């Protein structure tokens, strides 16, 4: 039976060769970000590891837990995440530390979301780590490759498919978020009412608990006309994420729009998605292996280059 033309094209595109350095630098960026995230959040994560509260409501891959783990177990997993994260970012014993860090990061962040408030900011880096964990992401830019002392491998399919799968995961994450808005809000979302009410609810909740909230978002609540364009723009960005799969200027435009979308969320609600705002979430869309060679000339460029992957 002959496969459809679109399936053959998709398979050929996924397995198109790519440089080992591209995958290696993507590993450095993603694992480095995840490690930095854990270090910045370390005081909070240590406190979570010691929680013993009846409100424990495990989610996702930890839904099977009957109750909170002991402080010793929680701290052990957190320590393992930090140690394996450092090794993974450096590319040391990647075949072990890569999967170990992906699983440990997922466990730590999922456990932190199992106490009544689910955080979404860690979802994408966790998924990207899982993809990289099963890829030969330490064949370049790693201690493993330096120890072997061999020249960098030639571009190959085994270095291309993980990068493109990371991109596909990113695209699907945005599409799912956009579809959820349409499914739950319907046409009311496009009217801006749902978005306006959501911002108002978020500001009120934070005010009641004494947390800081966006003064800009609160000020705009009196101007209903600004919300329909913003609501429509959010849908265009999220449902338009497949544009990132195209080898055209639309890919660059989508990356800029997606980054601007998260900047708007931060400005209006005080909710930051650091992975996206750092730009690392979109690194698989760029020829990151060229950056080290161009660092002395980066000041001449007015915008980053986003090309085919």
Model confidence pLDDT, tens digit, residues 125-164: 999 999 999 999 999 999 999 888 777 889 999 999 999 9
Instruction: Return the higher-pLDDT residue of 59 and 193.
Output: 59
Q: Kindly report the pTM of this predicted structure.
A: 0.88
Distance of CA 192 to the CA centre of its chain: 26
Name the 3-class secondary structure at 2: coil
- Model confidence at 303, pLDDT cuts 50, 70, 90, reads very low
**CA separation, residue 83 to residues 60, 88, 112, 152, 292 (Å):** 24, 9, 19, 27, 26
Query: Please, what sign has the CA dihedral across residues 20, 157, 304, 263?
Result: negative
Instruction: Return the higher-pLDDT residue of 91 and 207.
Output: 91
Name the 3-class secondary structure at 272: coil
Greatest mean pLDDT among 64-68, 210-214, 273-277: 273-277
Distance of CA 304 to the CA centre of its chain: 19
Token digits of residue 259: 């980054």
């Amino acid at each position: 039976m002959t496969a459809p033309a679109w399936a053959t094209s998709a398979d050929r595109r996924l397995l198109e060769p790519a440089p080992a350095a591209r995958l290696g630098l993507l590993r450095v960026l993603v694992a480095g970000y995840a490690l930095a995230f854990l270090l910045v959040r370390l005081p909070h994560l240590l406190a979570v590891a010691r929680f013993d509260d009846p409100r424990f409501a495990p989610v996702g891959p930890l839904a099977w837990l009957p109750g909170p783990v002991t402080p010793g177990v929680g701290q052990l997993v957190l320590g393992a995440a930090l140690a394996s994260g450092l090794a993974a970012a450096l590319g040391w014993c990647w075949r072990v530390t890569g999967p170990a860090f992906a699983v440990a990061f997922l466990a730590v962040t999922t456990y932190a979301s199992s106490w009544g408030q689910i955080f979404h900011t860690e979802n994408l880096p966790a998924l990207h780590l899982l993809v990289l964990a099963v890829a030969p992401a330490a064949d370049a830019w790693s201690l493993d490759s330096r120890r072997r002392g061999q020249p960098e491998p030639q571009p190959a399919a085994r270095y291309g498919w993980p990068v493109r799968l990371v991109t596909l995961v990113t695209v699907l994450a945005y599409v799912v978020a956009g579809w959820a808005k349409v499914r739950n809000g319907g046409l009311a979302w496009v009217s801006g009412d749902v978005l306006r009410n959501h911002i108002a609810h978020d500001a009120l909740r934070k005010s009641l608990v004494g947390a800081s909230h966006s003064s800009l978002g609160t000020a705009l609540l009196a101007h209903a006309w600004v919300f329909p364009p913003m609501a429509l723009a959010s849908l265009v960005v999220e449902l338009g994420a497949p544009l990132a799969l195209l080898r055209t200027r639309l890919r660059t435009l989508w990356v800029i729009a997606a980054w601007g979308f998260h900047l708007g969320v931060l400005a209006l609600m005080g909710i930051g998605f650091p992975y996206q705002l750092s730009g690392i979430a979109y690194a698989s869309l760029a020829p990151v292996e060229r950056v080290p060679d161009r660092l002395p000339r980066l000041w001449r460029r007015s915008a980053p280059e986003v090309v085919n992957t």
